[in-house]
Chain A
Amino acid sequence: MSATFEKPPVESYERGEKRTKGLNRSQIRRARISGIVMLLLAAAVAVLFVPNAEGVATFGISTVDDAIQLDALVVPVQATLWAIVLILGFMGASQFVKGFQRRATLILGISFGLFTIAMMVWATAGAEFSLISMLVATVSRCTPIALGALSGVLCERSGVVNIGIEGMLLGGAFSGVVIGSLVGGWVGLLAATLTGGILALLLAVLSVNFRVDQIIIGVVINILVLGLTSFLTAQVLVKNPEWNDAPIFPSIQIPLLSDIPVIGPMFFNQTIIVYGMYVLVASVTYLLFRTRWGLRTRSVGENPRAADSLGVSVAKVRYWAVVSGGLVGGFAGAWFTLGTVGRFDEGMTAGTGFIGLAAMIFGAWNPVGALGAALIFGFAESLEQKFALLDIPIPTEFLAMAPYLVTIVVVAGLVGRARPPAADGQPYTKE
């Protein structure tokens, strides 16, 4: 080995150096807009919440069967709301004037968080609110979203857009409940998973072999599954109610971990499907970024021609990725039936697959990022449920819209645009 070899001058590659020359017009505009948004949030808290709020709000943070019982948080409503108004006002004003630049997204996120806290404090004034049960519900509700997003990550990392996640969820939910009712929960879970895989196989065949537009295939899968399950529900399940009565997976306490206050009941006293989600997020992350399979999958999603020229079979890689994505989507479908209510209702996934798609984008096509996004969406959904129970003067229909509004804001790119795989959605044809 030659001793004269020198490490190449990486510095001279000007890595990222040019990007710090200050803000351009559109960035300034974006900083202004987010500043105004924060100021509006502050004003909303001051005008809407402060005048008719008094007393204290009580938040329960332990469940009855927790090993370590924590006292409920008791918060003075007026003082808390004013503090939030001040913080929001200050952050909004400084964002408007000078901008937080790199941290602007974080600051905006914190603002939405503070606004949410203000809303919760206001709604709970003079009452008691079980924060812990809401957090437990958050993790449970985030599960199908996170798994749906994971299904999307697997497909899109290989360059196949999967709009059909919703259909895979619904198909999994349906076959899970039928097989679960007839044979048993575990076999039902397996059936749900395979259903997703079969639907994904359809996506793989049409997109890889026949190069049909991937968006169209996804829409077809969604409509096909919705129609088929609705028909079968009306024709079969209604007449045979015993086919629509599956056992529900029980919550399993993980020893020790479930004893941690707050964290324990949130994450470690859940059903097997939630634990499956943890394992899948971790293992897909490892597979994508640490294994040969992952390297090849990502390369096919970024530059299939390059992969092909190196002897990597684009079709094979895409088949594997899409079908495993489908299996994950079907598994996620089981959450709706086997994981919660044990019975199937028409269209019961109610757009969760699309929220999962949004979580995938929000999480920048990264499994862990997608899980983070799913937690936010899950929180929004369970907050809506809680508010519906508290008697507050906001129509619950508006609250029900909240998660979708969050989705629009997120996907519209107020928090910056993530970069999708370069070959996402493009059929590959050899020259």
Chain B
Amino acid sequence: MELELRGITKQFPGVLANDDVSLTARSGKVLALIGENGAGKSTLMNVLSGLYRPDAGEIVMDGVVQSFGDPGDAIEAGIGMVHQHFMLVPVFSVWENVVLGVEPVKGPGVLSRKEARREVREISERFGLAVDPDALVEDLPVGIQQRVEIIKVLLRGAKVLVFDEPTAVLTPQEVDEFFGIVDELKGRGATIIFITHKLKEALAIADDITVLRGGKVAGHADPKTATPEDLATMMVGRDIELVVEKAAATPGEEVLTLHGVHMLDDYGRAILDHVDLSVRAGEIVGVAGIQGNGQTELVEAITGLLPLAGGKVEFLGQDITHASPRQRHAAGIAHVPEDRNEMGMVESFSVAENLVLDSYYAKPFSRRGVMDGPVIREHASWMVEAFDVRPPLIDNTGGALSGGNAQKMIVAREFSREVPLVICAQPTRGIDVGSIEYIHEQIVKKRDEGKAILIVSTELDEIFALSDRIVVMYDGRIVAEMQAAETTPTEVGLYMAGKAA
């Protein structure tokens, strides 16, 4: 089925999210839709899936103009969305998730479980999507959960499949499997729209590429001839460096050392399993791993936010295992937390206040327990300029900043102190390319000043762009450690997927 969007325009209060967007997705082909955060991809997809009504423009399928009042209409018309955050009920079985909304019944409203299971099996056999209909979704690995999502849309007779950032949560091996599934679907004549910000993946799998920028179509590209640099330039509207310029590291003394750090969750499972790790002055250590393999807990163990079940944390030769977070902060550990809205700032506080969240109680920001407004504001004005936070309005709330600028604000706060150790968890998650570039430069600059840097990222590209040394976490353990120059993304990917070292 051919899907055409003609002049889609969607206005929100203060934002023109989609401005005259036109694109075509062909039957049996993959259209990659790329763009930065805020380029209007999500809005466009919500229009397509019937969640929003466009202010202008039309959706045309095989020459017929469609009008979607709600998601049910879009499903009816043959559009299937596979959302980035899976739309699954974790405590339901696979079949319950799949048939929700189109339940087979025997008698008035009584579910036919047999029929439901049969429908799931039939789709999974037809498209090679192996999954047990009775498994509980929360017990399934992410890659299998994604299959459940795909089965869901296929069961509803989807002819156009829209994948929103489908590879964000997958291991490299699962990504390969996913591409296999996409090929299979293509072969059966499905029209596929693949939304991503990973340029390499777009080039690898797409037949057509459409780039969005600022709510408008910035251009189309042919994956056979385009390079990642071409696409990146179209996305941000200027030339950017995808590679971080950095000289070889000259590691000095050990700044941070973990000895057998052990941590348990509420069920008594080890979430950190005897982790040994060291970070030296003047080097960047990158922690790679799929989300949820203990990286968050590793950072919180070092920063003192979670108690240990065993082991020791040493900082500059001192045992800080039992020090409070503030003591550690004062001793010289900077922390850019992974969840910027939850942990990195107080959304309802002003930019100026957010910039002193870690030091408001100390001189010069406070005197005798009273905060000094003029000093805090002057500090903030200087910081937003130095760290290029836009707009540089220090009285706006932190929550009003875009993702990239909020992150720059947090980086400004954490990096402006002269400290021996900087921990950055997911430093560039979900932010625009320009901000990524800027933050990466700042991190390398810190390293060159002789600071010890620990980076945690689920983006392999980022790990490779920054790290001097790479450790891989899997199931709470460090399963591999190597020099960045001596390994490849494929090798790291295998460790991330749990292939034993």
CB of A290 within 8 A of chain B?
Answer: yes
Q: For residue A37, give the distance in angstroms from its CB to the closest CB of chain B.
A: 21
User: Which of A13, A24, A291 lies in contact with B268, CB distance below 8 A?
Assistant: A24
Q: Are the CB atoms of A299 and B89 closer together than 8 Å?
A: yes
Give chain A residues whose Cβ lies under 8 Å from the Cβ of B132.
Answer: 7-8, 10
User: Which of B92, B130, B266 lies in contact with A26, CB distance below 8 A?
Assistant: B266
User: Which of A22, A305, A310, A422 lies in contact with B101, CB distance below 8 A?
Assistant: A310
Q: For residue A385, give the distance in angstroms from its CB to the closest CB of chain B.
A: 40
Indicate with 1 or 0, residue by residue over A417-431, a CB within 8 angstroms of chain B CB atoms.
001001000000011
CB of B139 within 8 A of chain A?
Answer: yes
Report the Cα distance A126→B51, complex, angstroms.
Answer: 74
User: Which of B87, B88, B100, B270 lies in contact with A295, CB distance below 8 A?
Assistant: B100
Give chain B residues whose Cβ lies under 8 Å from the Cβ of A23.
Answer: 268
Indicate with 1 or 0, residue by residue over A298-342, a CB within 8 angstroms of chain B CB atoms.
110011011111111000000000000000000000000000000
Q: For residue B309, give the distance in angstroms from its CB to the closest CB of chain A.
A: 7
CB of A15 within 8 A of chain B?
Answer: yes
Q: Are the CB atoms of A295 and B110 closer together than 8 Å?
A: no
CB of A239 within 8 A of chain B?
Answer: no
Known A-B contacts A295-B111, A311-B71; A306 and B105 likewise in contact (beta carbons under 8 Å): no
B75-115 residues with Cβ-Cβ distance < 8 A to A are 75, 81, 83, 86-92, 96-97, 99-103, 105, 109-111
CB of B72 within 8 A of chain A?
Answer: yes
Q: Are the CB atoms of B49 and A10 closer together than 8 Å?
A: no
Q: Are the CB atoms of A310 and B109 closer together than 8 Å?
A: no
Q: For residue B162, give the distance in angstroms from its CB to the closest CB of chain A.
A: 12
What is the number of contacts between chain A and chain B, taking CB atoms within 8 Å? 112
Report the Cα distance A429→B87, complex, angstroms.
Answer: 15
Give chain B residues whose Cβ lies under 8 Å from the Cβ of A299.
Answer: 89, 92, 96, 100
User: Which of A1, A22, A296, A305 lies in contact with B87, CB distance below 8 A?
Assistant: A305
Q: For residue B78, give the distance in angstroms from its CB to the closest CB of chain A.
A: 14
Question: Chain B residue with minimal CB distance to A2?
Answer: B125
Q: Are the CB atoms of B87 and A303 closer together than 8 Å?
A: yes
Q: Are the CB atoms of A306 and B71 closer together than 8 Å?
A: no
Indicate with 1 or 0, residue by residue over A128-147, a CB within 8 angstroms of chain B CB atoms.
00000000000000000000
Q: For residue B421, give the distance in angstroms from its CB to the closest CB of chain A.
A: 29
Report the Cα distance A307→B103, complex, angstroms.
Answer: 13
Q: Are the CB atoms of B130 and A307 closer together than 8 Å?
A: no
B interface SS class: loop
Known A-B contacts A6-B130, A311-B101; A15 and B81 likewise in contact (beta carbons under 8 Å): no
User: Which of B49, B89, B97, B144 lies in contact with A13, CB distance below 8 A?
Assistant: B144
Give chain B residues whose Cβ lies under 8 Å from the Cβ of A310.
Answer: 71, 75, 87, 100-102, 152
CB of B264 within 8 A of chain A?
Answer: yes
Give chain B residues whose Cβ lies under 8 Å from the Cβ of A103.
Answer: none
Known A-B contacts A7-B132, A22-B268, A311-B75; A292 and B89 likewise in contact (beta carbons under 8 Å): no
Question: Chain A residue with minimal CB distance to B96?
Answer: A295
Report the Cα distance A199→B144, complex, angstroms.
Answer: 44
Give chain A residues whose Cβ lies under 8 Å from the Cβ of B124.
Answer: 5
Question: Chain B residue with minimal CB distance to A8?
Answer: B130
Report the Cα distance A422→B137, complex, angstroms.
Answer: 14
Known A-B contacts A1-B125, A19-B268, A310-B71; A291 and B110 likewise in contact (beta carbons under 8 Å): yes
Q: Are the CB atoms of A8 and B131 closer together than 8 Å?
A: yes
Report the Cα distance A306→B111, complex, angstroms.
Answer: 19
Report the Cα distance A23→B267, complex, angstroms.
Answer: 8
Give chain A residues whose Cβ lies under 8 Å from the Cβ of B144.
Answer: 13
Q: Are the CB atoms of A27 and B268 closer together than 8 Å?
A: yes
CB of B140 within 8 A of chain A?
Answer: yes
Known A-B contacts A291-B111, A295-B111; A303 and B71 likewise in contact (beta carbons under 8 Å): no
Question: Chain A residue with minimal CB distance to B266?
Answer: A26
Q: Are the CB atoms of A309 and B135 closer together than 8 Å?
A: no
Give chain A residues whose Cβ lies under 8 Å from the Cβ of B81.
Answer: 309
Q: Are the CB atoms of B125 and A5 closer together than 8 Å?
A: yes
Report the Cα distance A296→B264, complex, angstroms.
Answer: 36
Q: Are the CB atoms of A13 and B87 closer together than 8 Å?
A: no
Report the Cα distance A298→B96, complex, angstroms.
Answer: 10
CB of B46 within 8 A of chain A?
Answer: yes
Q: Are the CB atoms of A312 and B101 closer together than 8 Å?
A: yes
User: Which of A6, A18, A292 lies in contact with B105, CB distance below 8 A?
Assistant: A292
**What are 9 A-B pairs with beta-carbon distances under 8 A?**
A13-B140, A19-B268, A19-B269, A24-B309, A27-B268, A295-B96, A309-B51, A310-B87, A310-B152
| Shortest beta-carbon contacts, A-B, top 7 | A311-B72, A24-B268, A310-B101, A306-B87, A8-B130, A24-B264, A302-B89
- Which B residues are closer than 8 A to A by beta carbons? 46, 49, 51, 70-72, 75, 81, 83, 86-92, 96-97, 99-103, 105, 109-111, 122, 124-125, 130-132, 135-136, 139-141, 144, 152, 264-270, 309
